[in-house]
Chains A and B, each alone.
Chain A
Amino acid sequence: MNINKLKNFAKNIRKNIIFTAFKAGSKSAHVGGALSAADIMAVLYSEIMKIKKSKIIDDNRDRFILSKGHACLALYSALVEKKFLKKKDLETFESDGSNLLGHPIINKLSGIEFSTGSLGMGLSLGVGVALAAKRKKKNYKTYVVLGDGECNEGSIWESILSANHFKLDNMIIIVDRNNFQQTGKNSSIMDLRNLKNKFKSFGCETVEIDGHNIKKIYETLINKKLNNKPKVIVANTIKGKGFKLFENNNNWHHSAITKSIYKEILKEL
């Protein structure tokens, strides 16, 4: 594991995120939630997941589901770094007839497994996909990134119960715990309290880490303990991480990056 390579990958993801959001102009973009997930995405796409451009729909590939679909900029950016998408594709973000919209659209040839965006659904799909692996006796892993606000949805807990019941230890769930949702802090809208304990009580192998410590993210993901339980990583993150203007500023849940803002934040890279 080359930590500098990983940090660079993450840096490029952030660069692509703000570039794309800037190109979208007044149409705005979900910047905050994409930036908080950037380091997780970097480790997954750079080192952890078994995916290859030459075998993009290979049946043995690892599957990735961005259940918090509004963080799609992080996904598109990672796919560009992996060369599944071209950088110039990012310029079509949210434009008429584009395949790259404000929430992912299924396009397996580009590495987008499912259309997500309606919160609480991606994890269910992940259970189906991981269960299929068990029934087909395949070794691929299924990675699902959830939002913390997303955990308000009852369907998330339906999925977690079933993931445990079906002993899906081939499933790794990462919660991007940035403490905010659309209109405010989780604790004011619908308090999640101790999220780690909740997942643990549902029977998951649960750890809590700093979601921006690349080394720690890598070590946690590479740890392959197969013990009949799905793995949940509650990653404590900062919404908007990477740019002081955006960090912990919920105005950047969904907003427009103007020319002047873009010029300002580019300096931080």
Chain B
Amino acid sequence: MNIENNIKLWSSLGMRATFGLIAMELAKYHPNLMITTSDVSTSAGLDRYKKKYPDKFVDVGIAEQNLIGVSAGLSSEGFKVISTTFAPFQTLRCCEQIKVNLGYMKNKICMVGLASGLVLGNLGFTHCCIEDIGSLRSIPNISIVVPSDPFELFKTLNEAIDYKNSVYIRLTAGSNTKIINSKDYKFKIGKAVEILPGEDVAIIGCGNILGNCLEAASILREKKIQCSVVNMHTIKPIDNEKIKDIAKKNKLIVTVEEHNVLGGLGTSVAEVLSNERNNCKLVRVGINDFYSSGGSYEYLKNIYGLSVEKILETVLSNT
């Protein structure tokens, strides 16, 4: 597979359609793969997969609680299951089923939450998801990964499918995502990646919003602030060592996420820092625990301080 060609294509397709392409690849290497969904095959780029591998596909209709139960039942019988639907329905609607079937009983499945964060803002907040990481974090035996771009999604799925426990994979942004990883790199669930080195100030982000973080960091360099940017794709298990290392070497950490500042990446980082003595200030950028009026992705990013300008402002006002 030619990585560079695919990176460009996948980026223009966005994470959801890329998921559909990755599924086609996974089916070749995992004969007992089973993809389950709640009436969202098209939205997950799975139309081709559905036609080519009908016996490796199960649609339970708009019934997310049943989705998790059926997926867990299939997994208990030896199938490698990936379930998918829109993020709020994949996580909140069937949260208890996730707890009981995946957390408590440890039936292993991968759950792919489509269009999480703010990208579907013009459909209103029923179709946005700023609560998924927070809700799942308190369920034992569930890992949480937020790929930064479609290429990272490819790497995530390839590891997650054989990972030791259930993994929730949170997709963000729409088509034409920003490319965060333009060439091959080492990826491991649980290990953060420094995508831009620096000192004094560190931005730790997750998801495609890292694109805005990189742009902000580039402007900061012009202002002689060597801000580093770290891709903390795995929220659980959080990379404790990396956070402690960053806290030692920086005076300011800014976390950036398309999620409530309560319960997501920022909170996870705060938990690690609170265990250590350090001279580092932490500022959490994200959704400040309120639902705004709906609007476009750009409009909402601006409201919640996630635009390039607002991230820049946050760093400057805290340096």
Contacts and interface: CB of A to CB of B under 8 A. Distances in A.
Interface of A: 106, 113-115, 118, 120-121, 123-133, 135-136, 154-155, 158-159, 161-162, 165-166
B255 to A, nearest CB: 34
B76 interface: yes
A125 B74 CA distance: 8
B84 interface: no
A155 B77 CA distance: 21
Given A162-B61, A162-B63, A162-B66, A131 B100 contact: no
Contacts of A121: 65, 69, 96-97, 100-101
B73 A124 contact: yes
A123 to B, nearest CB: 8
Given A124-B69, A132-B79, 15 more contacts: A113-B76, A114-B76, A121-B69, A124-B70, A126-B73, A127-B69, A127-B73, A128-B70, A128-B76, A132-B76, A132-B78, A155-B66, A158-B66, A159-B66, A166-B58
Contacts of A106: 105
Contacts of A135: 34, 55, 79
Interface in B48-87: 55, 58, 60-61, 63, 65-66, 68-79
B76 A118 contact: no
B291 interface: no
Interface of B: 34, 55, 58, 60-61, 63, 65-66, 68-79, 96-97, 100-101, 104-105
A132 B66 contact: no
Contact of A128 (B65, B77, B104): B77
B66 A136 contact: no
Nearest to B96: A118
Contacts of B97: 121, 124, 155
Contacts of B74: 128-129, 131-132
Contacts, number: 89
Contacts of B71: 128
Nearest to B104: A115
Task: Identify the 6 closest CB pairs spanning chains A and B, nearest first.
Answer: A128-B73, A124-B69, A132-B77, A158-B63, A158-B66, A128-B70
B40 to A, nearest CB: 16
Given A128-B71, A131-B74, A132-B78, A158 B65 contact: yes
Contacts of A133: 77
A166 B65 CA distance: 17
Contacts of A118: 96, 100
A65 B6 CA distance: 45
Contact of B101 (A120, A125, A130, A162): A125
Nearest to B36: A128
